[in-house]
Amino acid sequence: MPLTAADNPQRTEKLLRAAKILERMEPQLRQEIDRLRTQYGKGPHLRILYFGNHPPAILFKNAQLEVARRLHIEAGDRSCDWDHDGPDQVKQIITQWNQDAHVHGIFVHQPLPPQLDAQDISMLIDPQKDVEGIHPQNSARRFFARARIGSCTALAVMELIDEALRRSGDTLEGKEAVVVGHSEIVGRPVGMLLLDRLATTTVCHVATKRLEEHVRRADVLVVAVGKPRFIKGAWIKQGAVVIDVGINMVGGKVVGDVDFDAARERAGYLTPVPGGVGPVTVMMVMKNTVEAFKLQHGAA
Ligand code: NAP
């Protein structure tokens, strides 16, 4: 019978829990927001748009509103109708927020209804207010390592990798990093950030041959595919840092893209799902909102 965490407390130390990271980040960010409010007589303001009744999007936007409240960021949400609201309605809302000097950050939740194109929507947002960090202008700046606003999920992944490196006293330089998934919002930006840190980086995708072989040599493995338990525990290199971005519903439970129980036997550090990448991503949206406020006020 496999050991439980309670049987073997050493195994729980391997877990890269969001709570530990947020304990450090939250007071620092709140302090900065309070300082900005004193300096400018106002603080950051975030607006969130979501569509229909998609439960994960509603959970995510409620978490954003709650974290914003704790950080003293003003935040408001607005819903659109899944069936009836089209590009014109969405453009009108985003244009209004773009032009409103009191709004510093805009976040549009996925999934979008079929009548809307995700790239078209992301391009409507003023790049200085794009707190998801996926506007092409922000992606291009990232390419030259000059982005002040980055993909919130990719930044969360890097924060979790850095937590593992802090604990082990190691560095990313020269490590074999493997990213599974090459989406614009997760896989590609994570690949770029790993390259910036001089990890030898491989990005795998649906046409990758012998995926298992790539995974087996990863010192750092990031998985963002959206398929439950897609990466088998036996593929994980002994001692690897494993960051599981996936969020999948299986039998009413949320599970990641990595077979967690088996991976736990081999990984050096591993993110749980839930409680790993997700809450750190929410915090990175807040950090981007603060950065957006500073950009719009010409602050360094
Ligand atoms: P996505 O846009 O659907 O991208 C999935 C990626 O996986 C694509 O690049 C796809 O390649 C690749 N893929 C599919 N099948 C594959 C296979 N057999 N082998 C290798 N690669 C394969 O999804 P996403 O937005 O990147 O999100 C991925 C997962 O992360 C989802 O579960 C999502 O819910 C979750 N997520 C979590 C957070 C968070 O904060 N925790 C944030 C964002 C997303 P092709 O395009 O070539 O098919």
Instruction: Give the span between the Cα atoms of 103 and 74, in whole angstroms.
Output: 9
pLDDT beyond 80 at 11: no
Contact 271 CB / ligand 1 (< 6 Å): no
**Closest residue to atom 35 of ligand 1, CA basis:** 246
| 185 contact partners, CB below 8 Å, separation of at least 6 | 132, 134, 151, 153, 154
What's the predicted TM-score (pTM) here?
0.94
pLDDT beyond 90 at 7: no
What is the CA(1)–ligand 1 centre distance, in A? 33
pLDDT in tens, 161-220: 999 999 999 999 999 999 999 999 999 999 999 999 999 999 999 999 999 999 999 999
What is the CA(157)–ligand 1 centre distance, in A? 14
In this structure, the number of other CB atoms found within 10 A of the CB of residue 25 comes to 17
Contact 153 CB / ligand 1 (< 6 Å): yes
Domains recognised in the chain with CATH numbers? 42-131+280-295 (3.40.50.10860), 152-279 (3.40.50.720)
pLDDT in tens, 248-258: 989 989 999 99
Contact 122, 134 (CB under 8 A): yes
pLDDT in tens, 228-238: 999 999 999 99
Residue 13: the pLDDT is 64
Task: Looking at the CA of residue 248, tell me the nearest atom of ligand 1.
Answer: 32
Contact 246 CB / ligand 1 (< 6 Å): yes
pLDDT in tens, 101-158: 999 999 999 999 999 999 999 999 999 999 999 999 999 998 887 889 999 999 999 9
Contact 224 CB / ligand 1 (< 6 Å): yes
